[in-house]
Amino acid sequence: MKRNMRWLELTLAALLAWTSVTVARASDATPRASATGATPPTSAGQELPKEKMTKLGLYVTAKEAYEQWLADPSKVKILDVRTTEEYLFVGHPPMAWNVPAYLQVYEWDPKGNWFPMKPNPEFESRAKELFAPEDTILVTCRSGGRSALAVDRLAAAGFKNVYNIVDGFEGDSIEEPGSLFVGLRQKNGWKNSGIPWTYEVDPGRVVVPKSR
């Protein structure tokens, strides 16, 4: 009887120790917000892809961006840097300004096998017309790549509080083999996060480039 009790005590102790280690590891793997409110450059414990990182090092997810805007819409601005066509026809955050950072080139590039893009030379000047230097600007594109480049351009133009929305508007592609949605952008992003988006357009928020 004593031997059985001793065995039970040891088993319970081992179980408690295993549980403590497991909880600690799970806690360490969870990305934490920084003091500025931005998430660190990690996603599920992994570093962000290099193309989504910025010189300012300020990052939020789409859902976090929406929550920040709700908390202070007078100071927090959502900037959509996709092309005007994407903003109009794919949808957009209802409060977002659209100032394209890059413009679509309608000449096929056989080497790159795509229709390339070129920088919008008006991007920085138009941003300065819309935003104050002290504004917090949360920048989105399709999935976080162009917006990272746009953040760096805004930083070079003197803006300090500029965050990259790392999952963008459409989100990342589903890569799981066997899924019916492989290659489709339904993994995260503003459009897939249960937060408001729209096709309706406020023309006052769309800054159409003068030169294309």
The 10s digit of each residue's pLDDT in 47-106 is 799 999 999 999 999 999 999 999 999 999 999 999 999 999 999 999 999 999 999 999
Instruction: Tell me the C-alpha distance between 185 and 89, whole Å.
Output: 15
Give me the percent of the chain exceeding a pLDDT of 90.
66
**pLDDT score at 9:** 47
**pLDDT score at 181:** 59
**pLDDT score at 13:** 43
pLDDT score of 17 more than 60:
no
Instruction: Tell me the C-alpha distance between 60 and 192, whole Å.
Output: 15
The correct answer on CATH 3.30.56.10 for the domain covering 31-205 is: no
Element housing 177 (H / E): none
pTM: 0.75
pLDDT score of 125 more than 80:
yes
Instruction: Tell me the C-alpha distance between 94 and 205, whole Å.
Output: 10
- Average confidence score pLDDT of the chain: 81
**pLDDT score at 187:** 75
Q: How far, in Å, are 64, 93, 113, 152, 156 from residue 36 at the CA level?
A: 12, 23, 41, 18, 20
pLDDT in tens, 25-34: 333 332 333 3
pLDDT in tens, 180-208: 555 555 678 999 999 999 999 999 999 99
With contact defined as beta carbons under 8 Å apart, do 191 and 169 qualify?
yes
Instruction: Tell me the C-alpha distance between 42 and 165, whole Å.
Output: 13
**pLDDT score at 188:** 86
Instruction: Tell me the C-alpha distance between 143 and 124, whole Å.
Output: 21
**pLDDT score at 174:** 63
**pLDDT score at 179:** 65
With contact defined as beta carbons under 8 Å apart, do 52 and 144 qualify?
yes
Break the chain into its structural domains and give their ranges. 1-30, 31-205
Residue 151, token pair as written in the block: 């953040």
